[in-house]
Structure 1
Amino acid sequence: MGEISVITVVVDHIPQRLPKLSDEVIPVQIYGLHGRQQGNIATIGSPLIDPIKRLGIYISPTELDFMTLALAVTAADTFVLRKMADDGWTRNIRLKVPLYQPTVWLNQIQNLEKALHFLSGDLWSLEITEGGYSPPDPYSRHHRYRLTHLRGKDCVSLFSGGLDSAIGVIDLIEKDKSPLLISHAYKGDKSRQNYIAKKFLGKFSRFSVNANPLSVNGKTDITMRTRSLNFLAFGAVGAFVVAKVNQLENIPLYVPENGFISINAPLTSRRVGSLSTRTTHPYFLSLIQSIFDAVQIKTTIINPYQFKTKGEMLSECNNQHVLHEIVFSTVSCSKWKRKGKQCGKCVPCLIRRAAFMSSGITDLTLYEYPNLSIVKHDLKNRDDLFALMIAIQRLSTKNVNAWLSDSGPLTLDSVKFDKYKQVFLRGIKEVEEFLQKEGILS
């Protein structure tokens, strides 16, 4: 096997410092207030500065630099197409990015590359230089801008508009927490997130941003394996401002995700790489936490549902009234943006549908493919359904411990590992019972 072709992505907020576009080099302007400066430069982060200023206080250079890193990674992940890789999947990416305080990050390069490799499956080479973007001057109450309300907040929670994140917010509010919600809103997300948020009872604020990656030629990679890094970066910024305004220490950063999806053990042998995402895997989150601790980003990443299935999250939600008001406005589908409708046949949709049945809540979601008997005989649309069917069949012959490890390292603690194992088995069981009810499994 020969060397994998290297693509270099150079990110800078000053366009004059960027190299020319070529087959091997992609220049990206970050934080450009006026968007694209010229036709042969990609952009990212243009809409971010205004919401950062609306937080009303100076952002710590460390948190800002981590956000810059996350956006640079998103740029590379978006603009370097997997289909151009030698094997059609594994990219070899050299990423060059200036930071405001580069010395803080230099001894974390190896850990960052390890985390990125685990997250995306690509080969990453990170070069950090000086001359990065400085923390912007915040708006004050004297400006005519509405500032994000931070007084009285005591935690941050990721809020995507998905079912798990909505339950996470409901449960926090029911526990008398006052969260700052962190939303990464792509096109079509924001109005749905706003609708759901209005139904929440209690006090919360939102920090809603959009990375807005724009390529030179309009072509982008759709796998977006590193998207959770942006969420965590925005969460770190949120944790800093909440702590600063309220004079608190070590603000919790909640990442609400059911344990079955979080572990995301590959359903079949061919899903170890291309079809098995690791966006909230415990190992990845632990890597990021260790980086946070090393550079003194003072927040603790917590997934409160690491050992619950999606069905258990639904049935144990602390405010069933609010849950029923918003549950069918949430989106679980991995393909919904293509048609604005949840498909009903992808793995996340099937787990969602199984969770409703398990919790006893009638599923009123309008799916594009509600009838799985038809999907089962549709050669073009049955891959995910068959993958789950195969996984259910493998349970009787597969070593579950080894199976879980296929998704990544978990823990040497046997008691904790057993908890991962049990939530995985219960998650599979939810899907199995749902497919039996649908007549897909005998």
Structure 2
Amino acid sequence: MTQLIFHHDIDQLTNQPNDVIPVRLYGMGDKNLQIAHIGNMVLDRVKRLGIKLNNQVMDFLTIAMSVTAADTFVLRKDTANGWCRSFSITLPLCQPDIWQANKVHLEQILHFLSGDIWQFDFQENGLPPPQPYSQDGRTKLVDLRNKDCICLFSGGLDSSIGAIDLLEQGHSPVLVSHSYKGDKSRQQAIIQQLNQNGYINQFSQFNAIAQPHLNNGSATEITMRTRSLNFLAFAIVSAYALQEVVQKEIDIFVPENGVISINAPLTPRRIGTLSTRTTHPYFIQEIQKLFTVVNIPFNLKNPYQFKTKGQMIAGCKNLPLLQQIIPDTVSCSHWKRKNQQCGVCVPCLIRRASLHYAGITHDAGYEFNDIRQILTNRDRKDDLFALINAIRQKNHRNMNQWVLQSGPLPVQQLNQFADVFMNGLNEVEQLLIANRIL
């Protein structure tokens, strides 16, 4: 078990044993003392909301920071089975008693999300909510006036459709982004196009980055199964501030197509957390329950749970605008390696199939523009062959049992989950037929 100790006061992190990873929250670490850090710039972004958070929301942000740091700093390859890690996290909170009472549920949720074992020791003296910047000061604040909901906005195709549809329906969302290096420029290119198409005063944007730094020269983990937690924490922070301004119940929209959301295993070796569960219905359901118990009163909604990516595109409420935006959107799970989408990973192939389904040919460039090239590339063909394998089985397997392999699902909606997965495979099949692969 790897022990990590977190604190916002760097003096509390010195002189730790060699087998403990000390991590400073909301400030810089220390390379000489090998003190890691996360969230150095986050408080500045939070202050720009112009509203002081309550303790529960601040604590959830702190918990999310600690989880992301642990997930980044401990390598999966060093574990006995090459995947499942065990974490012991010591973390000061504003209201540790509330979270201690719900600790087991939180640990179970995180186990489902990442496949790891999580143990928390919540302590007193957590960092209190920061004082917001003044409305009359020089610092530019997020404009929350007349806004009515929160929408996660990654800069991907699904989140762009989510934003457009909300705007077309007359909503005024706050678009919340986790702006890792490289992501922000893509997100801003899409924002600029929204502004140029008549929505300029209809939405606001909140973006933050919680980049973890280990500060000891060691390699860091890249699978990042818990990355959604920081994204969600930024949404909760924004929702709380918005609710304080408008004094109305706030919904948080999580736009994700049902195929990726369920993420049913394409092959037996992809069962479990080898596939991401960041928007899986069970994760959303359980984190919603946790929020309710700790009095974080916001509703998480995915309006596209039973739609494929192709159906999302075809049903977009401003398709001409979406077609302009598509080349700026990112779906690839590897794009940062070469600053280009690969075209061969599962998310890329589903993206390409969805555009084919919707009859759209104008897309971003790919490392492999010709899908048939993948067939002869030994190192890059695994995802394509996994999809081919799933397509060949789809008419012979019990689809309800298949989608349940990714995690629990509501029985009354099981047929709908099975249908969206089947429809998603059908979309990929049509793409592969058109490219003479099937």
TM-score after normalising by structure 1: 0.95
**Which of 7, 11, 18 is equivalent to 1:12?**
7
1:230-249 mapped onto 2 (5 Å cutoff): 230-249=230-249
Maintained 8 Å contact 1:263/1:278? yes
3-state secondary structure, aligned to 2:175: strand
Maintained 8 Å contact 1:15/1:37? no
Tell me the residue number matched to 1:431: 428
Identity among equivalent positions (%) equals 50
1:68-87 mapped onto 2 (5 Å cutoff): 68-87=62-81
Question: Is residue 2:356 matched to residue 1:361?
Answer: no
Maintained 8 Å contact 1:54/1:145? yes
Question: Is residue 2:281 matched to residue 1:282?
Answer: yes
- Quote the Cα distance in structure 2 between the aligned partners of 1:381 and 1:21: 43
Number of residue equivalences: 432
- Quote the Cα distance in structure 1 between the aligned partners of 2:280 and 2:229: 12
Maintained 8 Å contact 2:306/2:420? yes
- Quote the Cα distance in structure 2 between the aligned partners of 1:406 and 1:385: 20
Tell me the residue number matched to 2:100: 106
Q: AA paired with 1:109? A: K
* C-alpha distance 216-20 of structure 1, shift in aligned 2 (>3 A): farther
Tell me the residue number matched to 2:296: 297
Shift of 1:370: 1.5
Tell me the residue number matched to 2:167: 173
Question: What's the CA shift string for 1:137-173, capped at 9, x where partnerless?
Answer: 1110232101110011100000000000000000000
* C-alpha distance 20-421 of structure 1, shift in aligned 2 (>3 A): farther
Shift of 1:426: 0.3
- Bigger drift between 336-345 and 366-375 goes to 366-375
- Quote the Cα distance in structure 2 between the aligned partners of 1:182 and 1:252: 13
Shift of 1:372: 2.1
Question: Is residue 2:94 matched to residue 1:97?
Answer: no
Maintained 8 Å contact 1:188/1:337? yes
Tell me the residue number matched to 1:45: 39
Maintained 8 Å contact 2:34/2:215? yes
Shift of 1:274: 5.1
- Quote the Cα distance in structure 2 between the aligned partners of 1:233 and 1:101: 17
Shift of 1:23: 5.7
Tell me the residue number matched to 1:323: 322
Tell me the residue number matched to 2:399: 400
Shift of 1:35: 5.1
- Quote the Cα distance in structure 1 between the aligned partners of 2:173 and 2:66: 27
Maintained 8 Å contact 1:21/1:41? no
5+ residue gaps, structure 1: 1-5
Maintained 8 Å contact 2:113/2:273? no
Q: AA paired with 2:225? A: R
Tell me the residue number matched to 2:138: 144
Q: AA paired with 1:12? A: H
- Quote the Cα distance in structure 2 between the aligned partners of 1:386 and 1:376: 9
Question: What's the CA shift string for 1:271-295, capped at 9, x where partnerless?
Answer: 1135311010000000100001101
- Quote the Cα distance in structure 2 between the aligned partners of 1:363 and 1:385: 22
1:194-273 mapped onto 2 (5 Å cutoff): 194-200=188-194, 201-202=198-199, 203-218=202-217, 219-249=219-249, 251-273=250-272
* C-alpha distance 379-20 of structure 1, shift in aligned 2 (>3 A): farther
- Quote the Cα distance in structure 2 between the aligned partners of 1:215 and 1:37: 9
Question: What's the CA shift string for 1:392-427, capped at 9, x where partnerless?
Answer: 1121332212111110000121xx111111111100
- Quote the Cα distance in structure 1 between the aligned partners of 2:18 and 2:76: 14
- Quote the Cα distance in structure 2 between the aligned partners of 1:39 and 1:210: 24
3-state secondary structure, aligned to 2:41: helix
3-state secondary structure, aligned to 2:252: strand
3-state secondary structure, aligned to 2:80: coil
Maintained 8 Å contact 2:29/2:36? no
**Which of 127, 152, 156 is equivalent to 1:133?**
127
Tell me the residue number matched to 2:437: 440
- Quote the Cα distance in structure 2 between the aligned partners of 1:21 and 1:333: 39
Maintained 8 Å contact 2:177/2:208? yes
- Quote the Cα distance in structure 2 between the aligned partners of 1:40 and 1:385: 42
Question: What's the CA shift string for 1:297-331, capped at 9, x where partnerless?
Answer: 11100001001000000010000121111111000
3-state secondary structure, aligned to 1:46: coil
- Quote the Cα distance in structure 2 between the aligned partners of 1:365 and 1:192: 12
Tell me the residue number matched to 2:415: 418
* C-alpha distance 236-372 of structure 1, shift in aligned 2 (>3 A): same
Tell me the residue number matched to 1:3: none
- Quote the Cα distance in structure 1 between the aligned partners of 2:120 and 2:362: 45
- Quote the Cα distance in structure 2 between the aligned partners of 1:156 and 1:425: 30
- Quote the Cα distance in structure 2 between the aligned partners of 1:340 and 1:173: 30
5+ residue gaps, structure 2: none
Shift of 1:336: 0.1
Shift of 1:181: 0.7
Question: What's the CA shift string for 1:91-134, capped at 9, x where partnerless?
Answer: 01111211111112111111111110000011111211111010
Maintained 8 Å contact 2:144/2:245? yes
